[in-house]
Amino acid sequence: MKNPKDYGFNSQLIHYSGHHDQYGSATVPIYQTSTFSFESAEDGAECFAGTKDGYIYTRIGNPTIKALERQIAVLEHGYDAVAVSSGMAAVSTVYMALLNAGDHMISSAAVYGPSRVVMEQHFSRFGVQSSYVNTADIENIKKEIRPNTKVIYIETPANPTMDITDIKACAEIAHSIGAVLVVDNTFCSPYLQSPIDLGADVVLHSITKFINGHADIVGGVIIGKDKQIYDKLRTMMVNMGCNMDPHQAYLVIRGLKTLGIRIDRAQENAMKVAEFLENHPKIEWIKYPGLKSFAQKDLVRKQMRGPGTMISFGVKGGLDAGRTLMNNVEMLILAVSLGGIESLIQHPASMTHSKMSKDSREKAGIGEGLVRLSIGIENVDDIIRDLSRALDKI
Ligand code: LCS
């Protein structure tokens, strides 16, 4: 595939890695090496000076990792990408690369718990200021702008509230004040949403989720829209040392090939599960971007190519009833994480978002009764039967 832009998304997934070797390998081999030999002392010096292309050391770069980075950059319509050891490494690298002491960041209040904890409890120790607001209402962002605001950071759909933030409107605000827009695109993957096309400067993912899709590795990736911002991100990753491992990259390349069909199937299932839950007498409320009742459905249509596979809901009877449900599922796995081929159920207030203060959780709309589902690719009748039986136990 010479120019991936001439091909559709699924063809890019299968055929584009940009990797070529002397054996004509159909897949990207694992370069399980920490270091690379130089042809001469002069050659080594040139590689370090950047006047010659060549691999030096795996923390700095590695052919297996580079193949994954190239592929994700193409899928996200960015300049290039930096693969890292986890989604949290991606979040921390972005904060480290883009914020200085005295700078201010405005973020969605509902983000993955540790993305907020690392800013409020750790970056604050180095003088970085932050405001957490409901970014689903753009006016809340405008109200928080300070002369030192350098980053607007959004998660859309937000984990776990499913609130949608208007990416294009955020990019316009960020650029009007000389700030950058960072979008955590984990809940959509590049299959369902292209933040760079809507004006984002940086996109990040927990690769652990949809991109890998098989619940067998932890990883992250950051995509820069241009060379200037990409160089900052790569330099920070290399110096912090949170690189991905080549074996991990190999597994992600393998999982990534089926991203499109995995999401198509899981999304079809999620729609049926959401409709089942919405009509169930024991369900108090439900948020799934594919439902007619979803308040922000117009924005979903505007910036997403599908509603995704994540569902949040509350059971009548609150936390106790939700616990009964979670303790009685048989096939669904009671576990955190998301975006894999297997359906998972979890309780954000006591699990993924438990390290946030109760006050922050409540203000962000993460109530004690919220139960989160990540729908997989199993037979949908089995998922619904499992939930139905567990709901009957309440
Ligand atoms: N961003 C989002 C939106 C996430 O959901 C997560 C993890 C991360 C970043 C961090 O990625 P990690 O370091 O775990 O690869 N979300 C999780 C969740 O909701 N359940 O378990 C992990």
* Residue ranges per structural domain of the chain: 4-30+61-256, 259-392
- CATH code of the domain occupying 4-30+61-256: 3.40.640.10
Buried b (16+ CB within 10 A) or exposed e, 338-355: bbbebbbbbbbbeebbee
- DSSP-derived 3-state class of residue 344: strand
Contact 158, 299 (CB under 8 A): no
Which amino acid residue places its CA nearest to atom 15 of ligand 1? 87
Q: Is the shortest distance between the CB of 184 and ligand 1 below 6 Å? A: yes
Q: pLDDT grade, residue 20 (50/70/90)?
A: confident
Catalytic residue check, 184: yes
pLDDT score, position 158: 95
| CATH fold of the domain at 259-392 | Aspartate Aminotransferase, domain 1 (3.90.1150)
What is the percentage of the chain residues whose pLDDT exceeds 90?
Answer: 92
Catalytic residue among 31, 112, 191, 288: 112
Q: What is the pLDDT of residues 71-84, one digit of tens each?
A: 999 999 999 999 99
Tokens in use for 363? 């203000």
- State yes or no: pLDDT of 383 exceeds 90: yes
Residue of 164, 209, 336 best suited for mutating to test ligand 1, as the one with most atoms within 8 Å of CB: 209
- Per-residue model confidence (pLDDT) at position 241: 98
Query: Per residue in 193-219, pLDDT tens?
Result: 999 999 999 999 999 999 999 999 999
- Decide if 323 is catalytic: no
pTM for the structure as a whole: 0.97
Q: Is 206 in the pocket of ligand 1 (CB under 6 A)?
A: yes
Q: How far is the CA of 380 from the centre of ligand 1 (A)?
A: 25
- How confident is the model at residue 18, as a pLDDT? 80
* Candidate of 206, 212, 251, 346 to mutate for ligand 1, largest count of ligand atoms within 8 Å of Cβ: 206
Q: Which pLDDT band, with edges at 50, 70 and 90, does 127 fall under?
A: very high
Answer yes or no: is pLDDT of 328 > 90: yes
pLDDT of residue 274: 98
pLDDT band with cut points at 50, 70 and 90 for residue 351 = very high
pLDDT at 203: 98
Amino acid letter, 241 = G
pLDDT in tens, 39-60: 999 999 999 999 999 999 999 9
